[in-house]
Structures are given as structure tokens and as C-alpha cells.
Amino acid sequence: APFTSKLPSISSTLDIVRQGRCTLVSKLQNLQCLVAHCIIAAYSLSALYIDSVRMGEAQMIATGMLLAVAGMAFSYARPVTKLAPVRPLGSVFHPAIALSTLAQLAVHVACMPVAV
């Protein structure tokens, strides 16, 4: 058996499913943040390169540290007490997740020229 329980009920199975769903959703969100960060950083660096400006070492370190803190924040996710009847999406390449990520990136890229 993949796991054993000394309880006479199947309640531990629900705990395992809840933990699995929590892990899946937090990892998908983490990957979405990484994808968004990579594309935004590529856009920022290319826009700066056009103006012959380079980011300083302190800026790059600060960006990396903030991304690490954001990644650690996802590890503190806790499972919900009641399971939803619908399973979460199981792949980063699902059209809904890809569309969501592209929409977030479009908003960021549209706001960057205004901010700069």
C-alpha cells in the first residue's frame, strides 16, 4: 500500500488528497510567477539596453532576493478544510493557465512604458 493508517476510517485519505491539491496549486502559482518574472525582466533589460543603461549589481541582487522571498511564501500554503468538487488543473500548459499568464504579462508590458 502507498500509505498505512491505524485509524479505522478513510479520513487520512482525504488529508493526503488535500495536501496533494495544495501542493499542486501552490507549485502552479509559483511557476506562473517565475514565468511572469522572466518575461518582465527580459523586457526591462532589453528596454534599458536600448538606452545604453545596465542594471547595477545591487539591483540584480535585490531582484533575486525578492523573487526568492516570493517563492518561499508559496511554501507556507496550507490545505483547505473542505475539498472542492472540481479538481485543480494539473498542468502548467493547460490553456486556462497559459491564457491567465499571458494576460498578466500583457498588463505588465502595457504598464511598463507608462511607468518608465
Residue bearing the bigger pLDDT, 8 or 17: 17
The answer, as to whether pTM is greater than 0.85, is no
Sorted by sequence, the CB contacts under 8 Å of residue 111 that are 6+ apart come out as none
User: What's the full length of the chain, in residues?
Assistant: 116
pLDDT tens digit sequence for 38-49: 888 888 888 888
pLDDT tens digit sequence for 84-96: 888 888 788 889 8
Sorted by sequence, the CB contacts under 8 Å of residue 98 that are 6+ apart come out as 92
Q: Burial, 115: exposed, middle or buried (Cβ in 10 Å; 0-12, 13-18, 19+)?
A: exposed
Half-sphere exposure of 101 (CA within 13 A, CB side): 20
The whole-number pLDDT of residue 3 equals 66
CA distance 20 to 23: 5
Position 12 confidence tier, pLDDT thresholds 50, 70, 90? confident
What value does the mean pLDDT take over residues 6-14?
78
Question: Which grid cell sits at 68?
Answer: 526568492
Which residue matches cell numbers 534599458? 48
Look at residue 2 and tell me whether its pLDDT is greater than 70: no
pLDDT tens digit sequence for 73-87: 888 888 888 888 888
Look at residue 116 and tell me whether its pLDDT is greater than 70: no
